[in-house]
Amino acid sequence: MSRERAGFGYAPCMSEPAVEETHRTKGLLRLTMACNERCPFCNVPVEDYARPTPSWESVAEELQSFVDSGSRTLTISGGEPTLLRKRLLRLIQAARERGIPFVELQTNAVLIDGDYADALVGAGLTSAFVSLLSDRAELHDHLAGLDGAFSRCLRGIDALLARGVHVTLNPVTARVTQERVADYVRFVARRLPGVRSISLSAVQPHGRAGRGGGDELLPDYAVLAAVIPEARAVAEAAQIELLNPYCGLPLCVGWLADPERSVEAVEAAAGGWQVTPGVENTGDKEQGPPCQRCALRTRCGGAWRAYWRVRGGAGLAAPATSVPPWEGAGDPAAQVVVDARAGMVPAHWAALRAARTPTVWLDTTQLGRGDALRLARSGCTDLALRVDPTGLSRPGSPGFVNTGRTLQQVRRLLALSAGAQPQRRLRVWLRVREDAPPADRAAAIEWARAQGVDDLSVG
């Protein structure tokens, strides 16, 4: 790009919305890992990178991959991208000139003043994701690791808002700020009336927070479960959109009434998660004991693994229980049962694909050839398989052949689900007929335990 061309800037069309209207996660392009703050909770600290700043050539190559993918939003992050003033402006302009309509900047905003905001808008910036960490200066500066950061961050936010940039705030809730979430929203409504979105992240036990002292930074979900509903009510009254991002909280921690504001739940309901290049720690969550029979587990990844270790799962509880068909009816808003005990027909597959509840049961007595793959693609979340093991202990008998065919499909289904994120795994619940011959019943139970089915019962 020539200097003459770069000097013209990009004038955004004012008739366009400032941000893409979606809550799906977006990939990041990290311009540099260098940063002018020293947040003790940073999960991508500069010291973890042998080469903090990539070459412009590699940045341009990554940009082209975004363009080629047809992505509509480019999120430029760091570190702190405003440290590379000229390169940042060049990247924003290049993205807009190549047809990307929404360019977002993730920033701490302390280096942004009126002149810099003019340059960013002139290059084509449409939105900013700003880490205002608290409503109190001393707490913000402590969490930013930089004295005076609070006032400079507010100056940057004011400058961006004054030039029509859509600003979303990102307070990373820590133990010292966990009881002030509603107060934070009140502060934003009063001091920054131009801000209409807040993304409530929470400290992750990774990076600096995963090393010495990280346990003291982690918020207590039991406290947040009581605080978040109040914050949501304050935000609704102020007409501020409060969002629960991937780096936020499990659904049961204050977000049950607003699943459409939780990124994980939105993406799951839309049919699966998208590839999100640049998003670290994907897969570092797990579903602990309170999640095992949660009917909403397909909409939530659970909590960070370290949270189970440090806090013991405090504040996490299943809001709705997943109930297998042989135990009775569950919450109809959370689960649906497709009854195929008389044999699978095309209507059953259609019903599985059409179901929209978080938990979708298939209740059946047998599986045929190819059913494992069909189930994995069907929208079914839980297989309730009623097994008659008669003949299973006698090779060559009709029962051995028929039951063996079904169990072979179960084995394939478990293999297909192995390694999947907990939200995506199709669970297998096996019920063995108790009036079957003892040797056959024992053979079925031994097989099920060896395969690692999710739940085994006799009845």
Confidence class of residue 6 from pLDDT cuts 50, 70 and 90? very low
Confidence at residue 25, expressed as pLDDT on a 0 to 100 scale:
46
Residues above pLDDT 70, as percent of the chain:
91
Q: In the chain, what are the domain boundaries?
A: 3-311, 325-458
Q: Which two tokens stand for residue 266?
A: 């939105």
**Best-predicted range by mean pLDDT (153-162, 205-214, 441-450):** 153-162
Characterize 134-165 residue by residue with b for buried, 16 or more Cβ atoms within 10 angstroms of its Cβ, and e for exposed: bbbeebbbbbbbbeebbebbbbbbbbbbeeeb
Report how far residue 324's alpha carbon sits from residue 293's, in angstroms, rounded to the nearest whole number. Answer: 10
355-412 confidence digits (pLDDT tens): 999 999 999 999 999 999 999 999 999 999 999 999 988 888 888 888 889 999 999 9
68-103 confidence digits (pLDDT tens): 888 888 999 999 999 999 999 999 999 999 999 999
407-459 confidence digits (pLDDT tens): 999 999 999 988 777 788 899 999 999 999 999 999 999 999 999 999 999 99
Confidence at residue 95, expressed as pLDDT on a 0 to 100 scale:
95
The residues near 20 (Cβ < 8 Å, ≥ 6 apart) are: 72, 73, 101, 102
Residue with tokens 């459409």, as numbered in its chain: 260
CA-nearest of 207, 219, 201, 169 to 40 is 207
DSSP 426: P
**Alpha helix ranges (H) inside 205-273:** 214-217, 221-237, 263-269
3-311 — its CATH code? 3.20.20.70
Report how far residue 110's alpha carbon sits from residue 113's, in angstroms, rounded to the nearest whole number. Answer: 8
Q: pTM (2 decimals)? A: 0.85
* Mean pLDDT value of segment 149-172: 98
Q: Please state the φ and ψ torsions of residue 174, each to the nearest 5 degrees.
A: -120, 175
Report how far residue 65's alpha carbon sits from residue 59's, in angstroms, rounded to the nearest whole number. Answer: 10
DSSP 307: H
Residue pair 249/224 in contact (Cβ under 8 Å)? The answer is yes
DSSP state letters, 41-55: T-SS-GGG-SSSS--
* Mean pLDDT value of segment 220-244: 97
Confidence at residue 283, expressed as pLDDT on a 0 to 100 scale:
59
More confident position, 235 or 5:
235
Confidence at residue 255, expressed as pLDDT on a 0 to 100 scale:
96
19-32 confidence digits (pLDDT tens): 555 544 456 899 99
Mean per-residue pLDDT of the chain = 89
Q: Which two tokens stand for residue 61?
A: 């190559």
User: What separation in angstroms does the CA of 88 have from each of 70, 98, 101, 451?
Assistant: 21, 15, 17, 53
**Alpha helix ranges (H) inside 270-397:** 305-311, 346-354, 371-376
Q: How far is CA 177 from the centre of its chain?
A: 22
